[in-house]
Amino acid sequence: MKNANGHEIIQLFESWSPKKLACMDNDPIGLAIGTLNKAVSKVLVTLDVNEQVAEEAIERGCQLIIAHHPPIFRKLSNLRTDTPAGKLYEKLIKNDIAVYAAHTNLDVAEGGVNDLLAEALQLENCQILEKTYHENLMKLAVFVPDDYAQEVRLALAKAGAGSIGNYDACSFSTNGEGRFRALEGADPFIGDIGKMEKTDEEKIEVVFTTSNKNKVLKAMLNSHPYEEPAYDLYTLAVETNEMGLGRVGTLKEPMTLERFAEHVKTQLNVPRVRVVGNINTSIKKVAVVGGDGNKYIHTAKRSGADVFVTGDIGFHIAQDAESIGLNIVDPGHHVEKVMIKGVAEKMDKLCSDAKLSVEFVQSEIDTEPFTFI
Ligand SMILES: [Zn+2]
């Protein structure tokens, strides 16, 4: 185990929940306060950052906070320390506590907020509710002298090219002849300067995701014997790595909406929920969106869900849901607190696998602004 710095921890975090998954315009994710250029031995995971959470981080000896809700959401026009927000920022800076926010990228990430909610609700066969991200496949066709084809193929496979579903190291080869003439200044692997050459070559074709492009190209260039390898590289219209917001899955056994509402209360640990719809309806298929899901009632309806679990449902949206026959259970926005345990456990695993000595502690401050009476 070795001591960690802030960058190493966040690099691991982003290998799981990269910023590119964010699906809200100008979502202020990433490092919000302080610096990652420092040793970090303890990280506090929290849903929100308020003054009590800052105190908690100080008391528990944390150098970094990972939060779901960005602590600076709108652009600041001043940094006065006589306002509540300013006082919070001052406290964090003075105590050298950095804050890193993972918002909609953590909603979308596999094992992120929405998966954690679906898991808590014991949903099975979960699918993405609304696709917000995909990558295109790319194809590399590279021309390699026969004797080196296997070496290049292995290097490409090692870099992750040719992974298709439950298969890896997939490639296709055709044999042919390559022709070239080396000019003055060249250092040809085969043949002489100024003479036309002909060699038996294999055209090796492999596919990979756009995000893996640099790694695959580097592997090909490093393993290819030629000074100037000839290759084609193009983007395919094939989409892969689809990810998105919300989940839709099924309950093991159907239950009435009334019983399901009780199930939500128990599983998400909330004292009250608001319900739209006839409480005697049978519920089997469930859609869930963490946080504020007002925008997704039609998506939830189209998914065929019998009920939509989400927070912050407004009065008129509830009326719209009623008119399209969509049942809703609103347990509040605060159920996103499931991320505290989820993120702490995931990061614990990622860091111990990477032999980094860092402790993730779960915030015990209740940041729910509502009291249910
Ligand atoms: Zn939220």
Each residue's pLDDT tens digit, 56-94: 999 999 999 999 999 999 889 999 999 999 999 999 999
What is the pLDDT averaged over residues 102-126? 98
Band of pLDDT at residue 149, cut at 50, 70 and 90? very high
Give the Å distance between the CA of 107 and the centre of ligand 1: 9
Helix, coil or strand: residue 269: coil
Give the Å distance between the CA of 341 and the centre of ligand 1: 16
Angle of helix 113-120 versus helix 257-268 axis, rounded to 10: 120
Give the Å distance between the CA of 69 and the centre of ligand 1: 6
Most distant CA pair in the chain, distance: 90
Give the Å distance between the CA of 337 and the centre of ligand 1: 9
114, 167, 112, 176: which is closest to 142 by C-alpha?
176
Give the Å distance between the CA of 110 and the centre of ligand 1: 17
Band of pLDDT at residue 212, cut at 50, 70 and 90? very high
Give the Å distance between the CA of 39 and the centre of ligand 1: 29
Provide the whole-model pTM.
0.87
Residue 102: the pLDDT is: 98
Domains of the chain: 2-106+337-362 (3.40.1390.30), 113-132+244-335 (3.40.1390.30), 134-241 (3.30.70.120)
- How far is 335 from 291, CA to CA, in rounded Å? 7
Give the Å distance between the CA of 333 and the centre of ligand 1: 6
Q: What is the pLDDT of residues 359-368, one digit of tens each?
A: 999 999 999 9
Rounded to the nearest 5 degrees, what angle is found at the Cα of 21, between the Cα atoms of 212 and 359?
90
Residue 269: the pLDDT is: 95
Give the Å distance between the CA of 210 and the centre of ligand 1: 30
Give the Å distance between the CA of 91 and the centre of ligand 1: 24
Give the Å distance between the CA of 354 and the centre of ligand 1: 30
Band of pLDDT at residue 304, cut at 50, 70 and 90? very high
What is the pLDDT averaged over residues 216-221? 98
What is the pLDDT averaged over residues 136-145? 97
Give the Å distance between the CA of 353 and the centre of ligand 1: 29
